[in-house]
Structure 1
Amino acid sequence: MKNIQIIDDADNVTYSLFQATEAEFEAIFPNGRDIELAEDLLDRLGEEMAGAVLAPIWSRPILKRDALGIHGTLFYDNDRRRDHIPPSKREVDWNEGAINQAQRDLFAKHR
C-alpha cells in the first residue's frame, strides 16, 4: 500500500493520509508522479473513473504517526497552486529557487 496525503482548502487543515493499492496509486500518479491536482485527475480519467479509483481509498485512512512515508500528494481546491507545481508533477523537479541547497542536492540524486 502507498500513502497519499490530501491537501485541501478546508479551514481544519488536517491534511489527512489515506492508503492506496499500487494500481490505485498508479492511476492517480502515473509515470512516476507524486503530485496531482484533483481537477487534473478528473480531466484525465473522467468523473466516473476517478470516482471509482478514489472511492475505496476513502475507506482506508491511516494516522500520520503510523504511516511509513508519504508517497503522493493529492491537492483539492488548490488550482491557485498550479503555477507553483513542477510541470512533471514530481517532487524532485521543484524549481531550484524554491528549495534550499540540501533539497537541491537530494533531489539531484533522484532525478
Structure 2
Amino acid sequence: MKNIQIIDGAQNCVYDIFSATDEEFALLFPGGTDIAFIDEVYAGGDQRLLDVAFKSIWQRRVKKAEACGIHGIIFYELEEKKAYYPTRRDEEATNPDGSNLR
C-alpha cells in the first residue's frame, strides 16, 4: 500500500492522506511520477477504472499521525502548481524559471 496526499484548492481543505494499492497507485501515477493533477489523471486514463479506484481509495483514509510516508500527491483545482512540477516528480520540483526549489 502507498499513501497519497490530496491537496485541494478549497478553503476548507484538510490535506487528507489515503492509502492505495500498488495497482491503484500505478493507475494514478504512471511512469514513476509522484505528483498528479486530477484533470490530467482523468485525461490520460480510463474513467471507469479511475472511478472504481477512487471509490476504493476514499474508503482508506489514513490519520496523519499514523501515516508512514507520503508516496504521491494529487492536486485538485490548483492549475498554477503545474509550473512547479514539470516532470511530475516531487524531488525534481523547480521554479517556473527552471531554478531548483530545494
Normalising by structure 2, report the TM-score: 0.88
Q: Note the 1:22-37 alignment, pairs <5 A.
A: 22-37=22-37
Pairwise CA RMSD: 1.4
User: Over residues 56-86 of structure 1, what are the superposed CA-to-partner deviations in whole Å (9 max), with x where a residue is unaligned?
Assistant: 0000000111000000000111122222222
- Over the matched positions of the two proteins, sequence identity in percent amounts to 34
- 1-side partners of 2:15 and 2:42: how far apart? 20
Q: Which has the larger radius of gyration?
A: 1
- Quick check: 2:92–2:100 contact (8 Å CA) kept in 1? no
Match of 2:91 in 1: 92
Number of matched pairs: 99
- 2-side partners of 1:38 and 1:52: how far apart? 15
Normalising by structure 1, report the TM-score: 0.82
- 1-side partners of 2:76 and 2:93: how far apart? 20
- 1-side partners of 2:85 and 2:11: how far apart? 22
Match of 2:68 in 1: 68
